[in-house]
Amino acid sequence: MFEVRIHGRGGQGVVTAAEMLSIAGFEEGFWAQAIPSFGSERMGAPVVAFCRLNESEIRSREPITSPDAVIIQDPTLLHQVKVFEGMSPEGYVLINSSRSLDQLGIGEFVGKLPRGHAACLPATDLALRHVGRPVPNAVLLAGLCAITSKLKLASIEAAIRQKFKGEVGDKNIAAARDAFAMFTTVDIKKEGARAHAQTV
């Protein structure tokens, strides 16, 4: 089973991100599950959501405590919430930021992960450029797709189409493609940080 925990703030589309990731999993024949965390839903409050992908039926309904991947939609949570708690030592970390992992103060921690398993992506910047709104969820899913190779970009695009219709969907897909290209235009595991995508 591949388990993803998504951290963000109210208004950033955290729950929608988990739902889109589960739809992308369905597109590829996985059993998939998206679970929101029901706490404060006010704008700006910390929010967490979970997604599981598996090749057989998923029976667990509990929050994910040992994630294989963590997406952090708001870097201000890094020193406020235990976003890395329970992470697999072979796991993946993707952070919405134009800063580097060292600049965020977590370079030493993520440096213990396998090379290429931790990255920063300027998802909000891409969303603003293409969509006109600071909602980074679709962009980050494309980034996760690129660094993990667990899903195809086409599946992420299909999920975006299901959640966002017409021109809004087109713009989110354009942003997602840009994000994916930032990682796939170079071999991030060999060459490190390039094209705004900061990795270790």
Helix (H, G, I), strand (E, B), or coil: what is residue 76?
helix
CATH dotted code for 2-199? 3.40.920.10
The average pLDDT across 180-187 equals 74
Which string of DSSP letters, residue by residue, matches 1-59? -EEEEEEEETTS-HHHHHHHHHHHHHHTT-EEEEEE--S--STTSEEEEEEEEESS---
Give the predicted TM-score (pTM) of the model: 0.88
Tell me the average pLDDT of the chain. 88
pLDDT at 109 over 90: no
Torsion of Cα atoms, 142 then 90 then 122 then 165, to 10°: 20
15 pLDDT tier (thresholds 50, 70, 90):
very high
pLDDT tens-digit profile of 26-44?
A: 999 999 999 987 555 566 7
Helix (H, G, I), strand (E, B), or coil: what is residue 167?
helix
pLDDT at 158 over 80: yes
Confidence at residue 165, expressed as pLDDT on a 0 to 100 scale: 92
Question: Rounded to an integer, what distance in angstroms lies between the CA atom of residue 72 and that of residue 17?
Answer: 11
Exposed / middle / buried, residue 184 (Cβ in 10 Å: 0-12, 13-18, 19+): middle
Q: What is the DSSP letter of 64?
A: P
Question: Rounded to an integer, what distance in angstroms lies between the CA atom of residue 126 and that of residue 162?
Answer: 20
184 pLDDT tier (thresholds 50, 70, 90):
confident
Confidence at residue 200, expressed as pLDDT on a 0 to 100 scale: 40
Structural domain spans, the chain = 2-199
**Six-digit token pair at 134?**
């600071």
198 pLDDT tier (thresholds 50, 70, 90):
very low
Confidence at residue 194, expressed as pLDDT on a 0 to 100 scale: 34
Q: Using an 8 Å Cβ cutoff, are 145 and 151 in contact?
A: yes
Which of 21, 33, 22 shows the shortest CA–CA distance to 59?
33
Q: What does each C-alpha distance from 187 to 8, 126, 183, 195 come to in angstroms?
A: 28, 21, 7, 11
Confidence at residue 79, expressed as pLDDT on a 0 to 100 scale: 85
The average pLDDT across 137-165 equals 96
- Least confident range from 89-98, 169-178, 187-196: namely 187-196
Question: Rounded to an integer, what distance in angstroms lies between the CA atom of residue 40 and that of residue 196?
Answer: 33
Other Cβ atoms within 10 Å of 11 Cβ, number:
15
11 pLDDT tier (thresholds 50, 70, 90):
confident
> In terms of pLDDT, which residue wins out, 198 or 52?
52
